[in-house]
Every structure is written in structure tokens, then in C-alpha cells.
Amino acid sequence: MDLLEGATEVLDVFTKEFVGKKDVVVGVSGGIDSTMVAYILRRNINKKKIHLYSLPFGKEGNDVKRVSEFLDMPYETVDLSGSLAPFKNMTNDNKLLGNVKSRLRMVFLYYKANEYKGLVAGTSNKSELLTGYFTKFGDGGSDFQILGDLYKTQIYAIASKYNFPEWLLKKPPSADLWEGQTDEGELGISYEKLDRILECLEYLKVPEQCKVAGCSIQEVRRIYALVKSSAHKRINFYIPKVGFRSVGTDWLE
């Protein structure tokens, strides 16, 4: 069994056991990650239990419709631009508004999950989680992250194996938080390079030990710094230890 086959088997078993017969809410963007999450859910649970929502701020692109057709799953579009209006009156900073957009989407998804008495499925991948390329309590807010232990390049490999549409495989990854925004543009590095560096760091090597083809030591150090500085995003909350066992440290669920 190769790595990808083993990975998909793990995801299938996890989904069946963790989700069970619950309803699941997913925010879909027309990108590879949310499509993969919906695809894995559809493989493993009743399709009627999966609720897909496209949450644009204004006009919606055509890619969500194309993904819906590929998955053979319906979706609902809810324009959240009205919820954003008060914040736009306060700032025109794209990054500030981008974080607000992500958090507004999270609020909506949890509203629907409460309505269905279900779960919110996250759509972040390991590359994003390790570099902090997500909004705390925004797209990082979910009940489970199916793709959380898969690098972006691994997700593309799995998508290719399962014959995802060519246009989707070639689409530049983007959080669609402002016009012209792309993941690789913001990160300042391609996912191919990024994942090679992260895999090296995963095996407890320091930057100077990461002889990654095509990557300079400066790039490795920069990514290492991103991983270190974004650690707070991967922890729900920090608690000073007072009692015998503390939530989140030695009192583990």
C-alpha cells in the first residue's frame, strides 16, 4: 500500500467513526481543499447529511457550481456582504477585512451546524496549519480538520488519483478574501517548495540540516520562523497552571 492509499484509508475510517450519522456543514469555495473535504464526506456518509454552503461577499464565481456538478451534490449560496458592511466603514485594510470575512463565514457555518445539531468540517491542510496561513477562529474554527495531516501537494496527488477535473487541479489556490489574492503570492513561496521544507522540519531537523533541492537556507529559516511564530494559532487557548490537572495540558480528553 502506498502513502496516498494509506492516507485515504485513514481519512475514510476517521470520517465514518468521528462523524457517524451526524449532519455535517461545509463551506465550499470552488477550490481543491473544500472540494476534497466534500468528496471524502460523500464517500463515507449519507449524502443527505452533508450541507454545502458557498459564502461570497458579493458576486459568486462559477467554480462552486462546477464543483457541485462534479460532486453531484447540491449547495446553497448565502451572500454575507451585508454582515461585512459595518467593518468596511471602519477600515479598507485588506488583511483586517480578510480576517473578518473568514470569521463571519465561521459564524454562519456554526449557526447552520447548531440548526442541524451537527458538525462543522474544516477545510485547512497541513501546509496552512503549520505556517499559520489561516484565520484564528475563522477558517481555523471547526470541529474537525479532515485534511489537517496532509500537505497541499499530497492533496493534489490524491485529487489527481481520483480524477478531479483538470481545471480544478490547475486553479491557483486562493482564500478569495480580496481580489487577486493567491495563497502562494501571500506566502511568498510555491506549495511545492513549502511542503518540501515543512516535511524536513517535521522530522525534527533544524533549518541548517534541511538541504532541500531548489530552496535556499534563507527560505528554510523563514518558513521555520513562520511555524514557530504561528504556534498560538494551533492552540485553542493558553491557561496558567494552578490546579492538579489543567485543561488542554495534563487534563486531556
Chain segment 169-209, per-residue pLDDT in tens: 999 988 877 777 889 998 999 999 999 999 999 987 777 77
What number is the average pLDDT over the span 87-100?
96
Q: What does the DSSP assignment read for 197-246?
A: HHHHHHTT--GGG---TT--HHHHHHHHHHHHHTGGGGSS------SSS-
Is 165 a residue whose pLDDT tops 70?
yes
Q: Give me the CATH code for the 3-183 domain, please.
A: 3.40.50.620
Distance CA 167, CA 172 (A): 10
Name every residue whose Cβ is closer than 8 Å to that of residue 239 and which is 6 or more positions away in sequence.
246, 247, 248, 249
Closest CA to 53 of 117, 122, 135, 112: 112
Distance CA 213, CA 211 (A): 6
Distance CA 104, CA 80 (A): 8
The tens digit of pLDDT for each residue in 13-44 reads: 999 999 999 999 999 999 999 999 999 999 99
How large is the C-alpha radius of gyration of the chain? Answer: 19
Calculate the dihedral angle through the C-alpha atoms of 166, 169, 175, 179, rounding to the nearest 10 degrees: -50
Name every residue whose Cβ is closer than 8 Å to that of residue 21 and which is 6 or more positions away in sequence.
45, 46, 49
Distance CA 61, CA 63 (A): 6
If one compares 57 and 235, the residue with the highest pLDDT of the two is: 57
Distance CA 245, CA 47 (A): 41
At 49, the pLDDT band (50, 70, 90 cuts) reads: very high
Say if CB 137 and CB 106 are below 8 A apart: yes
Distance CA 244, CA 183 (A): 43
Q: What is the domain partition of the chain in residue ranges? A: 3-183, 189-253
What number is the average pLDDT over the span 229-248?
86
Look at residue 77 in the predicted model and tell me its pLDDT: 97
The tens digit of pLDDT for each residue in 109-159 reads: 999 999 999 999 999 999 999 999 999 999 999 999 999 999 999 999 999
